[in-house]
Amino acid sequence: MLAFECDYLEGAHEKILQRLIETNYEKAPGYGNDSYCESARAKIKEACGCPDADVYFLTGGTQTNAIVIGTMLQKYEGVVAAQTGHVNVHEAGAIEYTGHKVLTVPSHEGKMKADELQAMLDGFWQDVTHEHMVFPGMVYLSYPTEYGTLYSKKELADIAEVCHRFHIPLYLDGARLGYGLMSKSADLTLPEIAEICDVFYIGGTKVGALCGEAVVFTKNNTPKHFLTMVKQHGAMLAKGRLLGIQFDTLFTDNLYFTVSAHAIEMAEKLKEGLKREGYPFYLDSPTNQQFVILTMKQIGELQKQVSFDLWDKLDEEHQVVRFATSWATKEQDVEALLALLDK
C-alpha cells in the first residue's frame, strides 16, 4: 500500500532520533529550562532575524492555537478567522472551550482578504450595539492554508496593516510553515513573517519532528506569566528537552528548510504527473497538499492500493481527494502513485 493521506505518517527525521540518543543520559532541568531548549530558542530567533523574540515550545497545533488565542485575547474578545480556518472547523471547539468566539470572514481557497477583513472590522465598530457583541481582538490565518494555498507578501502585509489599524495582533498558524516557505511560489521569508506578524508558530509535527510547535512572539508581546497559563492548559511538558532537542536539530544546518524543500519537490513531481495525465485540480496548490477531482470509480479503484484523504463531495459522481507529501516521502512512492494514476 502506498500512503499519501497526510504529512505525519512517519516518525521523525533521523538526525532528531540520533540527538535523542546522544543526549539521553544528560540530566536536564524540566519545563523548558534545559540547554537544548535554550539553544533551539537562540537558533530560531536567529533564523527569524528577530533577536528580541520570545520562543516557547508546545506539543501540537490545536494546543498551540488554543493557548496563543486564549491567552492573548481579553475576555470580551474573539478571534477572526477565515470560514475554513482550522480553528473554526477542525479543533473540536478548542477555542470556544477557552471561552472565546471564532468570528469569521469569507474564505477564498482558504485565504481571507484584507478588504473583507477591513469591512468586517469597520462593520463591528460602526454598529451602535457593538458593546453587545464579541469584540474582534485578533486575526488568525494559516500559512499555508488548510487548502495548501499561500498568502503573498503583499497580501499578508495588507492584512497586517488592517490589524494594526484596529490595534489587534495578527497570528499566523504555521503548522506547515516549512512547506509554505519552500514553495516555489512563496515570496515570503521567515524573517519577513516574523516582521509582519505579531505571533506565529513554526510547525514541527508535520515537518520532521515527533511532535512540537515553536511559538514565536515577535513584538515583546508575550502574555504575562505565559508559562503558568501553559501549565493551566495542561500543555507544559515535564521533559521539555524532548521539544528542545527536536527544534535545535531542525534549526541546525537549515534542516527544517531542507526537509521542507524535499516535500515540495515531491509535490511538484506529483502535480506535474497529474497534470500530464489530465486530472482536474480542485484548486492550484503550490505546497505539499494537492487537491484533485476524481470520479467515484477512480477513487474506488485507487483505494485498493493507495491511502489518501477524501474531501468535499462535488456531486454524485465526483469528489475532491487530497494527496499530501512530506519530509519523508520517497520519490519511488510518488512514481508508483503516478503509475497507478496513468490512465
CB of 11 to a copy of itself, least distance (A): 4
224 in contact with a copy of itself (CB under 8 A): yes
Q: Which three cell numbers stand for residue 249?
A: 536539530
Question: Footprint of a copy of itself on residues 26-45 (CB under 8 A)?
Answer: 26-30
Of 125-133, 181-189, 277-285, 295-303: span binding a copy of itself (CB under 8 A): 125-133
C-alpha cell at 212: 512540537
Does 144 sit near a copy of itself (CB under 8 A)? no
Stretch that binds a copy of itself, among 17-25, 190-198, 247-255, 284-292 (CB under 8 A): 17-25
What is the torsional sign of CA 289, 294, 300, 302? negative
β-pairing, 170-174 vs 135-142, is parallel
List Cα–Cα distances, 55 to 47, 63, 272, in angstroms.
Answer: 12, 16, 38
User: What nine digits make up the cell of 323?
Assistant: 494527496
Indicate the length of the chain as a whole number. 343
- From the CB of 160, what's the least distance to a copy of itself, in Å? 24
Q: Does 115 bind a copy of itself (CB under 8 A)?
A: no
User: Which of positions 285-314 make contact with a copy of itself (CB under 8 A)?
Assistant: 310
The grid cell for 174 is 504555521
Q: Of 15, 49, 54, 101, which lies in the binding site for a copy of itself, with binding defined by CB under 8 A?
A: 101
Over the window 146 to 185, marking each residue x when it contacts a copy of itself by CB under 8 A and - when it does not, the resulting string is ----------------------------------------
The answer to whether 46 contacts a copy of itself (rule: CB under 8 A) is no
Q: By C-beta, is 47 or 329 nearer to a copy of itself?
A: 329
For position 317 contacting a copy of itself by CB under 8 A, the verdict is: no
Q: Work out whether 67 is an interface residue with a copy of itself (CB under 8 A).
A: yes
For residue 113, count CB atoms less than 10 angstroms from its CB and return exposed for 0-12, middle for 13-18, buried for 19 or more.
Answer: middle
Task: Check binding of 318 to a copy of itself (CB under 8 A).
Answer: no
Residue choice 119, 133, 283, 296 for contact with a copy of itself (CB under 8 A): 133
Rounded to 5 degrees, φ, ψ at 82 are -65, 150
DSSP per-residue string spanning 113-182: -HHHHHHHHHHHHH-TTGGGS-EEEEEEEESS-TTS----HHHHHHHHHHHHHTT--EEEEETTHHHHHT
Distance separating alpha carbons of residues 241 and 282, to the nearest angstrom: 41
Which of these segments, 47-55, 188-196, 206-214, 259-267, binds a copy of itself (CB under 8 A)?
206-214
Residue 205 C-beta: closest distance to a copy of itself, Å: 5
Among 51, 52, 167, 238, binds a copy of itself (CB under 8 A): 238
CB of 294 vs a copy of itself, minimal distance in Å: 16
Total residues at the site for a copy of itself (CB under 8 A)? 76
Whole-number Cα distances in Å, 123 to 111, 205, 333: 20, 38, 50
Least Cβ distance, residue 8 to a copy of itself (angstroms): 5
Question: Quick check: 336 binds a copy of itself (CB under 8 A)?
Answer: no
Judged by CB under 8 A, the stretch of 11-19, 111-119, 158-166, 185-193 that binds a copy of itself is: 11-19
Taking a C-beta distance cutoff of 8 angstroms, is the pair 143, 286 a contact? no
State which of residues 47, 48, 102, 194 lies at the interface with a copy of itself (CB under 8 A): 102
81-108 residues labelled b (16+ CB within 10 A) or e (exposed):
bbebbbbbeebeebbeebebbbbbbebb
Within 10 angstroms of residue 326's Cβ, the number of other Cβ atoms is: 23
According to the binding rule CB under 8 A, does residue 234 interact with a copy of itself?
yes
Does residue 225 touch a copy of itself according to CB under 8 A?
yes
* Amino acid identity at 192: E
